């Protein structure tokens, strides 16, 4: 039974990777993150009707009348964050936002002009920023700090929107691909129970996959000092996304699973030529597609983690540490304690980090990168970025300071695939 579970979880892991690849391609193409950032700022400035402030997948595409937000985005500090003719920036730092907002509201950045703009407490701007300005007694630097704090709180909320909407999109893509390729979880499990040889083949592929993750993590470049420390752009080239998507599809297709449609060349129309395989239960097919789509929303890291635990129970892999997240490479103690002792929130997240990593995942990454136990809080910070950069440098990887699926798998599950 464990072998069948490992085989099914491997199928889910690779299918999740395929779904995530399609999702990333769509997100990059439509600039979803930039549109949601614009929506969050427009909501913060009171330029969205209350009935549209709730999360909605299509709402960022139909925002109208956000004149102040449009003016803010035209400010050179924000306009310069994205190339000419491209989508809106997907990230704005709180310091950049506060400086651009003060200059946009006052035109000249003076305290007198700013007070005049915020004196009317019947407006959303006056109600939100007027009391802030009163509390600091006209100190612009303290006023900027208050704006930045509130901006970070709003961005936390926008991040929650993004994750929930991404889950909906992942489910929709997963269901579409499950129907398109007839990936019926119920039919697959029924067929695997009748085919021990196929199950064994999939278990061996799962072991090889986990072993490959471990070996990739253990590789070290002998000339690590030659690796550039300069961060690369977070934006992923569309061509590279297509190449990654193709590799994900090929990996899934090579499993030779009981999926797909039966084909007849004697049908009168194209759609009539497709039919259910002989042994597939038609009445349960939609439930099977639904289970496959739900599995895809959990993501590949979840399923590889489940596989590692099953291998531990089965006795086919190394026993993981108590945290199940220790890295196979030497722990890199490169964390610097900030003077304030607080977690830095003002950092840029890529799409994978924003949509696929929760607090437990981040805690695991902090442990794997050597963050002291007292400072593990499940939140991203610049010091965590620095720890990741040092680990990438030591292991001979491209130094980006960004978490993606291969990096997370290498850090969290490196020891689970060995024998």
Q: Mean pLDDT score of the chain, rounded to an integer?
A: 74
Query: Phi/psi of residue 274, each to 5°?
Result: -100, 135
DSSP state of 76: H
DSSP state of 54: S
DSSP β-bridge partners for residue 262: 275
> What's the CA gap between 182 and 141, in Å, rounded?
59
> What's the CA gap between 157 and 53, in Å, rounded?
11
249 in a structural domain: yes
Query: Phi/psi of residue 110, each to 5°?
Result: -85, 155
> What's the CA gap between 240 and 310, in Å, rounded?
33
What pLDDT does 219 receive?
55
Closest of 215, 209, 217 to residue 396, by C-alpha = 217
The model's pLDDT over 287-322, given as tens digits with 9 standing for 90+, comes to 999 999 999 998 888 888 888 888 877 764 444 444
Closest of 399, 418, 352, 412 to residue 380, by C-alpha = 352
Long-range contacts of 69-72 (CB under 8 A, 24+ apart): 69/38, 69/41, 69/42, 69/45, 71/104, 72/41, 72/45, 72/100, 72/101, 72/104
Angle at which helix 196-218 crosses helix 405-412, to 10 degrees, equals 90
415 in a structural domain: no
3-state class percentages of the chain: helix first, strand second, coil last, to nearest 5: 60, 0, 35
What pLDDT does 175 receive?
93
301 in a structural domain: yes
How does DSSP assign 299-323, residue by residue? -HHHHHHHHHHHHHHHT-SPPPPTT
> What's the CA gap between 86 and 350, in Å, rounded?
17
Whether the full predicted model's pTM is greater than 0.85, yes or no, is: no
286 in a structural domain: yes
What pLDDT does 176 receive?
92
Total structural domains within the chain: 1
103 in a structural domain: no
| Contact in structure between 391 and 329 (CB atoms under 8 Å) | yes
Tally of CB atoms within 10 A around 330: 11
130 in a structural domain: no
Give the CA distances from residue 188 to residues 263, 277, 353, in Å, rounded to whole numbers and listed in that order: 18, 12, 31
pLDDT in tens, the chain (419 residues): 788 888 888 888 888 888 888 888 887 777 778 888 888 888 888 877 655 544 455 555 556 767 888 888 888 888 888 776 667 788 888 889 988 888 888 877 778 888 888 888 888 888 888 888 888 887 888 888 998 999 888 888 888 877 888 888 899 999 999 998 888 899 888 888 888 888 888 888 888 877 776 666 565 333 333 333 333 333 444 455 555 556 655 666 666 677 777 766 655 555 555 667 777 788 888 999 999 999 999 888 888 888 888 887 776 444 444 444 444 444 444 444 444 443 444 467 777 777 778 777 888 888 888 888 778 888 888 888 888 888 887 777 778 888 887 788 778 765 444 33
What pLDDT does 292 receive?
92
257 in a structural domain: yes
Helix, coil or strand: residue 275: strand
What pLDDT does 328 receive?
41
Range of the domain at 202: 2-25+182-314
Residues 6+ apart with CB under 8 A from 98: 144, 145, 147, 148, 151
DSSP state of 263: E
What pLDDT does 251 receive?
62
| Contact in structure between 177 and 19 (CB atoms under 8 Å) | yes
DSSP state of 49: -
235 in a structural domain: yes
Tally of CB atoms within 10 A around 131: 12
What pLDDT does 318 receive?
46
Closest of 28, 14, 3, 266 to residue 166, by C-alpha = 28
Helices (H), 329-416: 351-356, 359-368, 382-394, 405-412
């Amino acid at each position: 039974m464990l072998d069948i579970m490992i085989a099914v979880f491997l199928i889910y892991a690779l299918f999740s990777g395929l779904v995530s690849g399609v999702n990333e391609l769509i997100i990059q193409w439509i600039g979803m993150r930039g549109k949601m950032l614009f929506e969050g700022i427009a909501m913060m400035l009171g330029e969205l009707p209350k009935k549209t402030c709730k999360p909605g997948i299509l709402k960022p595409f139909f925002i109208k009348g956000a004149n102040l937000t449009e003016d803010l985005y035209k400010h050179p500090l924000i306009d310069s964050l994205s190339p000419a003719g491209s989508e809106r920036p997907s990230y704005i730092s709180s310091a950049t936002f506060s400086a651009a907002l003060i200059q946009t509201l006052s035109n000249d950045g003076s305290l007198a002009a700013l007070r005049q703009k915020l004196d009317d407490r019947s407006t959303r701007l006056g109600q939100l920023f007027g009391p802030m300005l009163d509390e600091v007694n006209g100190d612009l630097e303290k006023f900027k700090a208050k704006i930045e704090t509130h901006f970070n709180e709003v961005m936390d909320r926008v991040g929650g929107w993004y994750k929930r909407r991404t889950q909906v999109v992942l489910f929709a893509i997963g269901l579409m691909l499950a129907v398109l390729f007839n990936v019926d979880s119920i039919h697959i499990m029924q067929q695997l129970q009748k085919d021990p040889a196929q199950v064994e083949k999939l278990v061996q592929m799962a072991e090889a996959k986990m072993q490959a993750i471990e070996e990739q993590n253990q590789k070290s470049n002998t000339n690590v000092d030659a690796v550039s420390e300069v961060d690369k752009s977070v934006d992923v080239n569309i061509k590279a996304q297509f190449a990654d998507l193709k590799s994900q599809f090929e990996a899934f297709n090579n499993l030779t699973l009981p999926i797909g449609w039966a084909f007849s060349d004697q049908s009168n129309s194209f759609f009539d030529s497709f039919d259910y395989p002989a042994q597939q239960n038609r009445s349960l097919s939609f439930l099977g597609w639904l289970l496959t789509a739900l599995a895809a929303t959990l993501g590949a890291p979840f399923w590889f983690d489940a596989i590692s635990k099953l291998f531990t129970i089965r006795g086919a892999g190394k026993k993981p540490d108590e945290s199940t997240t220790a890295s196979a490479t030497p722990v890199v103690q490169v964390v610097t304690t900030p003077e304030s002792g607080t977690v830095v929130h003002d950092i840029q997240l890529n799409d994978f980090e924003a949509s696929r990593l929760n607090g437990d995942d981040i805690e695991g990454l902090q442990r794997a990168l050597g963050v002291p136990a007292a400072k593990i809080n499940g939140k991203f910070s610049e010091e965590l970025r620095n720890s990741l950069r040092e680990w990438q440098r030591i292991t001979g990887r491209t130094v980006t300071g960004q978490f993606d699926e291969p990096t997370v798998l290498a850090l969290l599950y490196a020891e689970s695939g060995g024998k």
